[in-house]
Amino acid sequence: MPVTPVSVQKSGPRAKSDPTPRGRLIAAATELFCQRGINAVGVDAIVETAGTAKTTLYKLFGSKESLVEAVLAAEGAAWRDWFTAATTAAGETPRERLLSIFPTLGQWFRQKRFYGCPFINAVAEHDKTSDRLRDMALGHKRQVLAHIRDLGVGAGVRDPDRLTHEIALLIDGAIVAAMITKDPGVADVAQKALQTLLDEQAETEPRRRETSAPADR
């Protein structure tokens, strides 16, 4: 991907403000984790930014790791709601909506608040032998790809599973490239690749020419 309601904006995903202590802690942790990295941010910095006591954080979440999971759940829900709504509103046909994927991501890449994918960043920072955050990331990805596959089926592509996998690779690559280079134009490159994939999927399978065996003489 909701922990918090999401406001659909053209520029990118953003959860609505939640003034409760829980909401302030999630908002503070989200901003700090995205900017500095999860491991670089301590509990003291989070509670200071949120304007709460450390005891409040532990009462509500139990640990920093549980707060990390709450942040990922909230960010995932906000992103999925925004992405689904934005691509759905971008066109009347499934093909048009598929072709809106990278222009939509390009809007996100141009946001000042764009720090890359929180799931990719979190998995990259943590123990690679642990499946805890990886499972959360895969759960988020499955929901996003289900939406994309539905669009592929609706567009009548020959192999929606293959197309979904290819688009997933383009999305992940574009997000990482945009984060590293700070160049939102990578979305335009991915868009051209997607157009090629869709054109290939729409082509009619070439018929095999049957050659008849020479007649016996």
pLDDT per position as a tens digit, 137-179: 999 999 999 999 999 999 999 999 999 999 999 999 999 999 9
* 139-177 core/surface letters (b: 16 or more CB in 10 A; e: else): ebbebbbebbbebbeebebeebeebbebbeebbeebbbb
Residue 128 pLDDT class (50, 70, 90 cuts): confident
Outline where DSSP puts E strands in the chain: 6-7, 14-15
Residue 111: how many other CB atoms lie within 10 Å: 14
pLDDT in tens, 50-66: 999 999 999 999 999 99
Residue type at 98 in one-letter notation:
L
Domains and CATH numbers, the chain: 6-202 (1.10.357.10)
Q: In whole numbers, what is the pLDDT of the chain averaged over residues?
A: 88
* pTM score: 0.84
Rounded CA-CA distance 117/120 in Å is 5
| Residue 14 contacts residue 6 (beta carbons within 8 Å) | yes
Rounded CA-CA distance 24/48 in Å is 11
Sign of the CA dihedral 176, 178, 114, 40?
positive
